[in-house]
Chain A
Amino acid sequence: KQEVTQIPAALSVPEGENLVLNCSFTDSAIYNLQWFRQDPGKGLTSLLLIQSSQREQTSGRLNASLDKSSGRSTLYIAASQPGDSATYLCAVKTGANNLFFGTGTRLTVIP
């Protein structure tokens, strides 16, 4: 069974810092990897999706990388802002019908 781990579980940084969130998975036979953002009491918003054949994806201040062979992905957030405070989840897709989720990293950006 695919296991997805996210480290750290929580992170506090001052505004303006660059930061990296980590995601690791045990089975490298993935179809894609998706990073989500979840605000308290809200649903999940998709941030970036990386296909298994890709190495990275970028959207604005966000950059996600994927090293499938080592079972790792990172989400890089540049010049963090208080509005970036949320829980960030990574999920891997291993077939047609399931996403395996990590437990998330709760990010707090301090003004």
Chain B
Amino acid sequence: NAGVTQTPKFQVLKTGQSMTLQCAQDMNHNSMYWYRQDPGMGLRLIYYSASEGTTDKGEVPNGYNVSRLNKREFSLRLESAAPSQTSVYFCASGTYTEAFFGQGTRLTVV
């Protein structure tokens, strides 16, 4: 009963490096989301995908790109990492009613 699976769990990047955070869900949800969590600021929406083939910007999309590869997978890419992108990243999937979250990726950009 995997739910929402994120990889990797931890990552350290140097400024300017690129990487992709992977997310997969096995609950057959149409909607998927990427959030970041920073101390004192709560979780903020980066991008979301209402269905396969569609993506839309959330509250803090600058510096990120996403791909909804199929119904199960939704990836988040940092093209040129910056120290301001140091955060914990959460992927979620859900119905119109409820959201289910992965365990998070702790990213440090030095």
Contacts and interface: CB of A to CB of B under 8 A. Distances in A.
Contact of B104 (A43, A46, A97, A99): A43
13 contacts: A4-B42, A31-B96, A31-B97, A32-B97, A41-B106, A43-B103, A43-B104, A46-B100, A96-B96, A97-B58, A99-B43, A99-B99, A102-B42
Contacts of A93: 97
Contact of B43 (A31, A51, A101): A101
Nearest to B91: A43
Contacts of A89: 42-43
Interface of A: 4, 31-32, 34, 36, 41-46, 49, 51, 89, 91, 93, 96-99, 101-104
B64 interface: no
A42 B88 CA distance: 10
Given A42-B104, A43-B90, A43-B104, A49 B98 contact: yes
Contacts of A44: 90, 101
B42 A101 contact: yes
B78 interface: no
A96 B33 CA distance: 11
Contacts of A42: 103-104
A32 B98 CA distance: 9
Contact of B99 (A4, A46, A104): A46
Nearest to B31: A97
Contact of A103 (B33, B42, B48): B42
B102 interface: yes
B53 interface: no
A25 B44 CA distance: 15
A103 B99 CA distance: 17
B66 to A, nearest CB: 13
